[in-house]
Amino acid sequence: MARNNSLLNRFLSEIRDHDIQKDRMRFRRNIERIGEIMAYEISKTFSYVEKEVDTPLATAICKVPAEEPVIGCILRAGFPLHTGILNYFDHADNGFISAYRKHNHKDTFEIEIEYLACPSLENRILLLADPMLATGSSMVLAHRAFLSKGTPKHTHIVSVIGSSEGVEYVKKNFPPNTTLWIADVDDELTAQAYIVPGLGDAGDLSFGEKLDA
């Protein structure tokens, strides 16, 4: 994972900032911006073909992506990140999946998946978006569910902040044809599986607090 300074640093600092993140619209927009940056960087890995484009004066030869990806969104926290990616891959197909923490007694929880809507993924490029990569369990389970719709030829995991533990878990449980794109990685993960320093609950900060299931 390369660590390069860019304008992304500003957006990352703002979504972490306890005072700035109180502005819910600004929080969502900064997540979108990070998604847009990720989409631009991912686009550099695609194959391109030449296309003739008629201008008012002549014909130009342009290079365009050879295919469009499928963008997979993990509900609900993934919506702003998904929107940012879709802003750039505006011809992409889209898939949606629910993955949430079902809390048990003694601060334990299980990852529950109840909904999946997705086109065929067979031999497609899949971009799987979820802003927080804590334990990595929800990302792995979501990916396994998506595989019921076909086997992608390459999967790009797109996250904003992850824990070192979550990153390692994903590396061990995803196939070799996977690339992880993540803005920053924190070392600490609490017993309740929250990233520290992290930023809090990305879903709540984007859309408001919820009652736990």
Does the pLDDT of residue 108 top 80, yes or no? no
pLDDT tens-digit series, residues 68-90: 999 999 988 999 999 999 999 99
- Per-residue confidence (pLDDT) for residue 4, from 0 to 100: 79
In degrees, rounded to 5, the angle at the alpha carbon of residue 29 between the alpha carbons of residues 79 and 110 is: 35
Task: Identify the residue with better confidence: 25 or 104.
Answer: 25
Q: Please compute the mean of the pLDDT values over residues 96-100 and round it to a whole number.
A: 83
* pTM given for the model: 0.91
- Per-residue confidence (pLDDT) for residue 101, from 0 to 100: 59
Does the pLDDT of residue 111 top 80, yes or no? no
- Per-residue confidence (pLDDT) for residue 100, from 0 to 100: 64
Which residues make Cβ contacts (< 8 Å) with residue 55, sequence separation at least 6?
none
Bridge-based pairing state of the strands 59-65 and 48-54: antiparallel
- The domain segmentation of the chain, as residue ranges, is 20-207
pLDDT tens-digit series, residues 144-195: 999 999 999 999 999 999 999 999 999 999 999 999 999 999 999 987 888 9
Q: Which residues of 47-81 are buried (b: 16+ CB within 10 A; e: fewer)?
A: eeeeeeeeeeeeeeeeeeeeeebbbbbbbbbbbbb
Average pLDDT, the chain: 92
CATH no., domain 20-207: 3.40.50.2020
